[in-house]
Structure 1
Amino acid sequence: MFDTAFKLMLRRLGLLLVVYLLLRVVFFAFNYHEFAGANAGQVLLSFVHGLRFDVAAIAIINGLFIFFSLLPVGNTLHPTYQKVLKWLFILTNVPFIALAVVDVEFFKFIGRRTSNELLSITGDITEQIGQLLGYYWYLALGFLLLTYAFIKVYPKAPTAAAPQPAVWLRSLRLLVIAGLVVLGIRGGLQLKPLRPSHAFVQEPAALGHLTLNSPFTFIKGIGKTTLEKKNYFGTDEELLAALQFNPQKHKQQTEEFQKENVVIVILESFAAEYVGALNNGKGYTPFLDSLASEGLMFQNAFANGRKSIESLPSILAGVPSLMPEPFITSPYQANRLYGLGTLLRDAGYQTAMFHGAANGSMGFNDFAKRAGIETYYGLDEYPSDLRQQDYDGQWGIFDEPYLQYASRELTNLDQPFMATLFTLSSHQPYTIPEQHRGRFPKGELEIHESIGYADYALRQFFKSASKQPWYQNTLFVLTADHTQKSVDPAYQNELGHFRVPLLLFHPSKKLDSLNANKIAQHADIPATVVDYLNLPTDKLLPFGNSLLDTSGTGQAIFFNGNAYVLVKQNVVAELKQDDQLQFYSFPELAPAPSPAPQAGQLLKAQIQYFRNSLVDNRLYFWTE
């Protein structure tokens, strides 16, 4: 197996690893200020972690080279064949080396490793190539020197003929190496293939950019959604005014910061249609209904997306899903982000997230880290002696035992803490534990019975939690990640597809003096928590508003796949792809008798802010 051809290939790929390491060193040196908050050990660990991304990029780029290097037939050491291999190797890798060199400076403009945005500005680069080369001459010189050295030290085949293994052995070797290449591209045996968000598992989070390499992020960005900028408003000041947003509103709180616990419960697929408290008692959630009678259930609440993977950015960071691709898997996933976990962790909170599915499912564990969640509890962390008996056979741990486990673990956290609990039993195929089958109403849809079970599991969680020392000092925020199938015609419309429950509950405080009829949305949750705790910050995004604010009637925004929709209490504004505005009444969705220019301007401002701030990595431009 370890014949001359194989050793040559390993040496050549090893040369690439050295080049990628050198490029990471240069990237670190040119952007040192970005990583100044990290100590030497953390920086070294990010270099080690980066090897995983280097191997993945090299494996993707050099698949053909590896195949032809280990071709099972013929003399692969022939001088002519080796010359072809050399130029395949050079011409394949040099463009990506150039990309990494360019990113040394380009990173300073966009604040993240280059993705597919480079494809959209190729024309501009071509037009300005002269002045760019003049200004960044040192990058061009460095690239030329590196390329020259790369070609010069390329490992050459021996001049003397060397024996090669039998064809069957070479074929078997190629199959084994192909499997290893696939493993390298995936980044390991984990549930989901390697992606840029996996780099952001260290503290400080900025080290994720050092861990990554530009060829990897560029390749991963190919085919992903690229947002086109909008310019409805000329300046940042005009945009903020149109957004009706004051970034400093929560910067200087007049009241004392109250360090109470916060628990956010995300109920899988709990559409508003299934909740009795939102439908005159007709539903499948008797316990959630009872909580609503003691807390504050918003009658007009909306998810900012239609999928589970779209819910976490909205709920934990105030980023609604306003593009065809989820934020978690988009080219902008590595953008600067201050999640609710980050804000509370910096204020002395311990932060955690619980989800009983396999670690890596939908990228939740990686995004939780990005949002400032210190500890993630997934299927891997669930007690191994209970895992088999409590497993639902499809997704993870049944809700009842998992929420009991979460209750125990919450008691082990230091107060104050912020925790997110995400259920899963009401997900297709809607499995019910054997001992509970036939206990809950079947309803008209397959999901209805599992909603009843999940509601029961929630009841048992609150029953055990109420006995814990942290319970009375905790604000609970309960909502659903998205809607599901519908049988009620009242929900079978553009608004009904996004309507979910959103409940604020505190065991020792009454919240019923607030307006339950205001429009609410997932993106309001970070602002609401910050407002409730009187936490000073200027790191909130303009999409959300505090639900405790009695001065407004609220709003919700979402993307339905064809248009952007802004829901206000008196009007629904819709912005089409051609920038045309249409207005409807709320909640009937009948054509509005007259235009609502203020709602239209607000919708345009939110879309411009979302698109331009993601493209430029300036979500918090007022802090610059």
Structure 2
Amino acid sequence: MFDTAFKLMLRRLGLLLVLYTLLRLLFFVFNYSEFAEAGAGELLFAFVHGLRFDLAAILAVNGLFILLSLLPIGNTLHPTYQRVLEWVFILGNAPFIALAIVDVEFFKFIGRRTSNELLSITGDIASQLVQLLGYYWYLALGFILLVIGLAKAFPKAPALPETAPKVWLRSLRLVLVAGFVVLGIRGGLQLKPLRPSHAFIQEPAALGHLTLNSPFTFIKGIGKTTLEEKQYFQTDEELLAALQFDPQKYARPEGAPLKENVVIIILESFAAEYVGALNKGQGYTPFLDSLANEGVMFRYAFANGRKSIESLPSILAGVPSLMPEPFITSPYQANKLYGLGTLLQEAGYQTAMFHGAANGSMGFNNFAARVGVQAYYGLDEYPGELRKQDFDGQWGIFDEPYLQYVSRELTEFEQPFMATLFTLSSHQPYTIPDKYKGRFPKGELEIHESIGYADHALRQFFKTASQQPWYENTLFILTADHTQKSINPAYQNELGHFRVPLLLFHPGKGLKSINPAKVAQHADIQATVIDYLNLPTDKLLPFGQSLLDTTTSGRAILFNGTANLLVDPEVVTELNQQDALRFYTFPDLAPTASPAPQSAQLLKAQVQYFRNGMVGNRLYFWKE
């Protein structure tokens, strides 16, 4: 099985690993200023961790070469066949070497490794090829030298003939190697395949770009959403004016920062339709309703997406889901981002996220790290002796025991802290513990009973938390990740699909001065926390507004798959993919002929800002 052909293939692939490490070193040298804050140990880890991404890219690029090297029939060591293999090897890898070489300089423009956006500018590259080669002649020279070096170093087959293993043994070997190739491309046995976001696991976050390689990010970007840039406004100044956004609004707050805890609770599938406090008492959430009486429940609150994976960027980083693909899996997932955890870490906070599902579920653990969450508590961190008895049989730990576990863990935290808690029991198949069967109303939809159980778990959490030393010094923000099945016609419309509860509650303070009738959205949460804690920053995005701001009536921006919607208390404005505008009444969505030019300008500004900012990695262009 380990004959000359197999050993040759391993040596040749090993040569590529050496080359990819050399390319990473070249990338580091040309972009040294990006990584100047990192220590020697952190840099070494980035290089070592990068081998995982290198192996995935090399195996993906060289699938045909591996197959031809290990064909179970014929003499694969024949000189002519070996020459063919060499050409397949060189020609197959050369384009990706070129890509890595180009990224040495292209990274300076977009601030991330190249993805599929390169495909959208091939026409521009072709028309400017001569001047680009003239300006970046050293990159072209480097590419030529590397390809020549690769050809010179290509391990040659021995001149002496060798008896090949039997066909059945070679066939078995090929099958086994194919399995290892798939595993290598996948990045291992973890829950989700290797993604660019998996590279961002240490600080400073820029080291993630050093860990990655350009062939990997390009391959991962193929078939992904590529946003079309817009030019409704010609300059950054015009855009900021149309956005009605001042990046310096919170840069110099009056008074000292508050040293209070923040706990954000994201309730799985708690559509506004299920909440009694939002439906004249008709619902399945008696505890959440009682909490609404003590805090502020916004009557018109919206998720900025329709999936769990879309909720976290909105809630923890102020990034609404305005494209067909979730940000976490998009080609732009490695863009610069200042999350809530990052901003609170700068203020001395301990930050954590709790989710009772399998580690890696929906990429939450990696995204949480990207936005400054220091510790992630998933199924793996749940006490082993309790895991079996508290497991729901499908997704993870039942809500009641898990929320009790979270309460205990928070008591061990040093204050002030920020914790995000994501529940899961109200997820399909809506399993609840046997001891609670028949206790909660069945309702008209299969999810209703599990909503009742999750609400009960929430009650028990607050009962336990109220006895902890950190409780009275904590701002609680409760919302849902997205809506779910609907039976109420009032919610069976474009806006109803996004309506979720959003509640502010502080056991030690009254919040009654906040207007519950204003429009609220997930993207407001980051700005609300910063405003409440009185923290200085110029790293907020213009999509969200503080819910504490009494000068605004609120707004929400949504993407329904075909058009963007801007929701404010006066009008709903729609901008479709052909740039046509339509206006509706709020909240009934009845068509209206009355145009709202100010809302139209604001919506266009937000769409341009999102698209161009994502493509160019310029979401914080005022900091350049």
* TM-score for the superposition, normalised by structure 2: 1.00
Whole-Å separation in 2 of the counterparts to 1:418 and 1:539:
18
2:237 corresponds to: 237
Whole-Å separation in 2 of the counterparts to 1:435 and 1:54:
50
2:323 corresponds to: 323
Whole-Å separation in 2 of the counterparts to 1:31 and 1:116:
21
Local SS of the residue matching 1:467:
coil
Whole-Å separation in 2 of the counterparts to 1:86 and 1:134:
30
1:161 corresponds to: 161
Whole-Å separation in 2 of the counterparts to 1:560 and 1:549:
28
Can you list the C-alpha shifts for 1:53-94, whole angstroms capped at 9, x where unaligned? 000000101111111111111111111111111111111001
The number of aligned residues is 624
Whole-Å separation in 2 of the counterparts to 1:105 and 1:513:
52
Q: How does 1:43-62 map to 2 (within 5 A)?
A: 43-62=43-62
Whole-Å separation in 1 of the counterparts to 2:410 and 2:116:
41
Q: Is the 8 A contact 1:243 1:602 kept in 2?
A: yes
1:64 corresponds to: 64
1:444 corresponds to: 444
Q: How does 1:348-363 map to 2 (within 5 A)?
A: 348-363=348-363
One-letter identity of the residue aligned with 2:40: A
One-letter identity of the residue aligned with 2:594: S
**Segment drifting more, 583-592 vs 9-18:** 583-592
One-letter identity of the residue aligned with 2:232: Y
1:30 corresponds to: 30
Can you list the C-alpha shifts for 1:191-250, whole angstroms capped at 9, x where unaligned? 000010000011111100000000000000000000000000010000000000000000
Can you list the C-alpha shifts for 1:356-382, whole angstroms capped at 9, x where unaligned? 000111000010001110000000111
Whole-Å separation in 2 of the counterparts to 1:198 and 1:130:
37
One-letter identity of the residue aligned with 2:49: H
Q: Is the 8 A contact 1:571 1:592 kept in 2?
A: no
1:212 corresponds to: 212
1:299 corresponds to: 299
One-letter identity of the residue aligned with 1:88: V
Shift of 1:592: 2.1
2:88 corresponds to: 88
Whole-Å separation in 1 of the counterparts to 2:81 and 2:312:
52
1:190 corresponds to: 190
Q: Is the 8 A contact 1:442 1:448 kept in 2?
A: yes
Shift of 1:262: 0.2
Whole-Å separation in 1 of the counterparts to 2:344 and 2:567:
29
1:136 corresponds to: 136
Q: How does 1:559-598 map to 2 (within 5 A)?
A: 559-598=559-598
Q: How does 1:203-602 map to 2 (within 5 A)?
A: 203-602=203-602
1:616 corresponds to: 616
One-letter identity of the residue aligned with 1:254: E
Shift of 1:513: 1.6
Q: Is the 8 A contact 1:115 1:218 kept in 2?
A: yes
Can you list the C-alpha shifts for 1:367-418, whole angstroms capped at 9, x where unaligned? 0001110000000111111111111111100000111111111111111000
Whole-Å separation in 1 of the counterparts to 2:86 and 2:149:
14
Can you list the C-alpha shifts for 1:245-270, whole angstroms capped at 9, x where unaligned? 00000000012100100000000000
One-letter identity of the residue aligned with 1:185: I
Local SS of the residue matching 2:438:
coil
Whole-Å separation in 2 of the counterparts to 1:212 and 1:180:
21
Whole-Å separation in 2 of the counterparts to 1:90 and 1:210:
25
Local SS of the residue matching 1:130:
helix
Whole-Å separation in 1 of the counterparts to 2:134 and 2:67:
40
Shift of 1:271: 0.2
Local SS of the residue matching 1:591:
coil
One-letter identity of the residue aligned with 1:282: Q
2:149 corresponds to: 149
Local SS of the residue matching 2:476:
strand
Whole-Å separation in 2 of the counterparts to 1:47 and 1:226:
29
Whole-Å separation in 2 of the counterparts to 1:344 and 1:67:
51
Shift of 1:139: 0.6
Whole-Å separation in 1 of the counterparts to 2:210 and 2:135:
24
Q: Is the 8 A contact 1:303 1:499 kept in 2?
A: yes
One-letter identity of the residue aligned with 2:311: S
Whole-Å separation in 2 of the counterparts to 1:137 and 1:598:
49
Whole-Å separation in 1 of the counterparts to 2:594 and 2:216:
51
2:76 corresponds to: 76
Whole-Å separation in 1 of the counterparts to 2:592 and 2:507:
42
Shift of 1:168: 1.4
Q: Is the 8 A contact 1:359 1:380 kept in 2?
A: yes
One-letter identity of the residue aligned with 1:167: V
Whole-Å separation in 2 of the counterparts to 1:570 and 1:140:
57
One-letter identity of the residue aligned with 1:586: F
Question: Structure 1: any 5+ residue segments left out of the alignment?
Answer: none
Local SS of the residue matching 1:263:
strand
Whole-Å separation in 1 of the counterparts to 2:7 and 2:590:
72
One-letter identity of the residue aligned with 2:339: G
Whole-Å separation in 2 of the counterparts to 1:387 and 1:71:
47
Shift of 1:172: 1.3
Local SS of the residue matching 1:313:
helix
Q: Is the 8 A contact 1:294 1:505 kept in 2?
A: yes
One-letter identity of the residue aligned with 2:351: T
Shift of 1:353: 0.1
Whole-Å separation in 2 of the counterparts to 1:265 and 1:501:
11
Whole-Å separation in 1 of the counterparts to 2:130 and 2:65:
34
Q: Is the 8 A contact 1:395 1:424 kept in 2?
A: yes
Please provide the CA RMSD for this pair.
0.6
One-letter identity of the residue aligned with 1:56: A
Whole-Å separation in 1 of the counterparts to 2:89 and 2:145:
18
Whole-Å separation in 2 of the counterparts to 1:523 and 1:514:
17
Percent of aligned pairs sharing the same letter: 79
Whole-Å separation in 1 of the counterparts to 2:604 and 2:255:
34
Shift of 1:593: 4.1
Shift of 1:174: 1.1
Q: Is the 8 A contact 1:352 1:420 kept in 2?
A: yes
Q: Is the 8 A contact 1:320 1:543 kept in 2?
A: yes
Whole-Å separation in 1 of the counterparts to 2:288 and 2:512:
16
Whole-Å separation in 1 of the counterparts to 2:235 and 2:592:
31
Whole-Å separation in 1 of the counterparts to 2:67 and 2:75:
14
Local SS of the residue matching 1:527:
helix
Local SS of the residue matching 2:254:
coil
Whole-Å separation in 1 of the counterparts to 2:496 and 2:325:
21
One-letter identity of the residue aligned with 1:595: P
Whole-Å separation in 1 of the counterparts to 2:312 and 2:485:
21
Whole-Å separation in 2 of the counterparts to 1:180 and 1:346:
43
Can you list the C-alpha shifts for 1:463-511, whole angstroms capped at 9, x where unaligned? 1111111000000000000000101000000110000000000001000
Can you list the C-alpha shifts for 1:323-381, whole angstroms capped at 9, x where unaligned? 00000000000000000000001110000000000011100001000111000000011
Whole-Å separation in 1 of the counterparts to 2:331 and 2:593:
41
Local SS of the residue matching 1:280:
coil
